[in-house]
Structure 1
Amino acid sequence: MKIGELAKQAGCPVETVRYYEREGLLPAAVRDQANNYRRYDHSHVERLTFIRRCRALDMTHGEIRALLQARVEPDASCESINELIDAHLQHVQARMAELQALERQLIDLRGQCLAARATRDCGILRELDQPGDVAWRGPATPASHLGGSRCGHEESPLLPHKHA
């Protein structure tokens, strides 16, 4: 099958297929001698679907590589897989706690301006202008294995997530 059909079966853009090939997560396709088109088979569909499921769980490329490696060692212990998921779960829980703290801070900030008024009298702007400790605003970068927050462009062909 051609790249467009693979992308369609996996439910992703063609650029995502190319991106995962460049990243080494998806094996390169055989090129057709007649027209140099990439040719994929069912194993590519299965692997790409697996990768996309992992990405939907916000796993890094490194985590995905570890899981892909485990798939080719069917007689090995799955202890490392359990540890990987446990660690990933801890990161997700930490991010959730950070987001809950952020929510509380935003609720408190919103409480500084309960009525529409001139911006010179806006309690939110006044609070944000206060010098001093900014710790209440939370950490500059989340304590996450991703090293930063999600950008909202999952699987974007222009701005793909590159994780270790």
Structure 2
Amino acid sequence: MNIGDASAGSGVSAKMIRYYEQIGLIPPAARTASGYRDYDPRDVHILRFIARARDLGFSINEISELLDLWRSTDRRSADVKALAQAKVDDMRRKIADLQVMADTLETLVGTCAGDDRPNCPIL
């Protein structure tokens, strides 16, 4: 199938498919006699996996690690779990940091009169 069909089947834009190929996240696509990229269902499955991992917040490097684990026949599920748990822990830290930021800003908003005078602790 061509790149448009692979894009439609995976939910990954053709531009991103070319980018993933360029950075080595996915192997280069097979080529037709006329030089067009030619994808098979396995390629689309990998692209769907990448899209799902991106939706879950994994970085390109983390996705590369996941793909390496997926391709490995001697992988340990403990390795996969550890990678995912590290991502969860990172997300929880970011959520906590954002909560502190929101609380601080909310306090500042509460102390600003919001009237015609120029004084406001936000500034």
Q: TM-score, structure 1 length as denominator?
A: 0.69
Counterpart for residue 27 of structure 2: 27
Counterpart for residue 50 of structure 2: 51
Q: What SS does structure 1 have at the residue aligned with 2:69?
A: helix
Shift in Å at residue 74 of structure 1? Answer: 3.6
Shift in Å at residue 75 of structure 1? Answer: 4.2
Q: What SS does structure 2 have at the residue aligned with 1:28?
A: coil
Counterpart for residue 12 of structure 2: 12
**Percentage of identical aligned residues:** 32
Counterpart for residue 101 of structure 1: 100
* Preserved CA contact (<8 Å) 2:12 2:47: no
Deviations 1:35-73 (A, max 9, x none): 211111101100000011111111122211121111122
Q: Structure 1: give runs of 5+ residues left out of the alignment.
A: 129-164
After superposition, residues 56-71 of structure 1 pair within 5 angstroms as 56-71=55-70
Amino acid at match of 1:90: D
Higher relative contact order (CA 8 A, sep 6+): 1
Counterpart for residue 72 of structure 1: 71
Amino acid at match of 1:11: G
Higher helix share: 2
* Preserved CA contact (<8 Å) 2:12 2:48: no
Q: Structure 2: give runs of 5+ residues left out of the alignment.
A: none
Shift in Å at residue 23 of structure 1? Answer: 1.6
